[in-house]
Amino acid sequence: MAWALGLLSAALFGALALYLAPLQPGVLALQLAATPRAFGAIVHAWGADGVARFRAHLPWDCLLLAAYGAFGWVLARRTALFARCGRRTRALAAALLPAAALADAAENGLHGWLTAAPRFDAGAAYAAAAGAAAFKWAAIAAFLLLVAWALARGADAVAQR
């Protein structure tokens, strides 16, 4: 199950990356645009077609976040990867990608609303979307570091036998 969710997540991520690749500046710049001015500059550079492309990806991104959130939980709780780690580490690993997915869902909702019409008076919404995106990427990075650490621990255990 973990591998199926991992492959689904990777396939969706790859497909969305290819679909969004024509947008310049890239989507990451929009995700981290914390002010109406920064966000507006990116949306202006994209034009109407670029904004439509971005908005069209949002439902697919929701599938992606469900897949990677489930993948993280299953990998941490239902496989042996974190078996040699402590209970707290395993719990943290199990929580990181679902937490990232929740932040991603909030970010998607805000970005859907912010790209539907100009909302220059909603400065807090831009900051909240950027904060959700920053948290999402930090949680994903932390999960990847924990996976690398768990793999190294497992390799050390095998080498010591």
Rg of the chain over CA atoms, in angstroms?
Answer: 18
The CA-atom distances, in angstroms, between 97 and each of 39, 84, 151, 158 are: 26, 20, 17, 27
Query: What was the pLDDT predicted at 157?
Result: 52
pTM to 2 decimal places: 0.93
Query: What was the pLDDT predicted at 153?
Result: 83
Query: Residue 11 belongs to what domain range?
Result: 2-159
Answer for the pair 53, 84: CB distance below 8 angstroms, yes or no: no
Q: DSSP secondary-structure letter at 83?
A: T
Tally the domains of the chain: 1
Mean pLDDT, contiguous 10-residue spans, the chain (161 residues)? 95 98 98 97 98 98 98 96 92 98 99 94 96 99 97 66 47
Task: Pick left, alpha or beta for residue 117 (phi over 0 → left; psi -120 to 50 → alpha; otherwise beta).
Answer: beta
What is the DSSP annotation of 23-81?
A: -SS-HHHHHT--SHHHHHHHHHHHHHHHHHHHHHHHHHHHHHHHHHHHHHHHHHHHSST
